[in-house]
Amino acid sequence: MPNKKVLVTGVTGRTGSIVLQKIRQQDNDWEAFGLARSEQKTQEIFGSKEGFYFGDITDKTTLVPALKNCDALIIVTSSVPQRKAPPQEGERPELTYPPDATPEKIDYQGQMNQIDIAKQTGVNHIILMGSMGGTNENHPLNKIGNGNILIWKRKAEQYLIESGIDYTIIRAGGLLNEPGGKRKLLVGKNDTLLDRESPTIPREDVAELIVQALYTPEARNKALDVVSESEEASQGEVTYDFTALFAQTTPGL
């Protein structure tokens, strides 16, 4: 029987669902649970509501049962912009955030709530999925709905680092819906990888990196940016040695 419990939040999102499925598919010591808001969406994606808690990261009280007796927490929650209104012909759609799901409420306050309850319940390790671009306040993503999403994500990362809990912060480049396990991964810091021609990575590879952080001591107390080479540029050199990859990374933002 598994003797360690991990909670994955944001499991009805595309990356979060892959993370949870990967952990559950592995023969290991971890028992993985998911946290979601929608029971219906959870049933549609996973075909079951067993092994899930239902709550809201903006309400701390709903997080307590989910995090009780957890050894690790994986945060994959993120605010998602929506179309403001159907665009007129020839116009680009305008995006905004629902008033109750702005980046400040989800990516900052919601993540702080998760970190606070994790600390209260004795979680030993938090793995947080972030986004590259947080060093640039004028990044185009910050302008969507005036949400400043990357700024709020960066503040939450700093809060995690200062919490005293072991952390791994994985900031992904642009996410691709392509198969994982076929590319060489590159890690860096301070958004320097954004200077590459195509700073992207399959979300399956990001999910695998998140899962590997559970098992790899070298991932503890590290924050990193990650992108991938294209399949062509990788030339068959696929990243499998995650211990070596995490060993290249450093603590702090």
Dihedral sign, Cα of residue 121, residue 125, residue 128, residue 133: positive
How crowded is residue 72: how many other Cβ atoms within 10 Å of its Cβ? 23
163 is catalytic: no
201-226 exposure pattern, b = at least 16 Cβ within 10 A, e = fewer? bbbbbbbbbbbbbbebebbebbbbbb
User: SS3 helix, strand, coil % of the chain, rounded to 5?
Assistant: 40, 20, 40
141-150 exposure pattern, b = at least 16 Cβ within 10 A, e = fewer? bbebbebbbb
Contact call for residues 66 and 77 (beta carbons, < 8 A): no
17, 78, 79, 131: the active-site residue: 131
Cα→Cα distances 89→81, 97, 143, 217, Å: 21, 23, 23, 53
Q: How far is C-alpha 144 from the geometric centre of its chain's CA atoms?
A: 20
Distance between CA atoms of 201 and 181, rounded to whole angstroms? Answer: 11
Catalytic site residues? 131
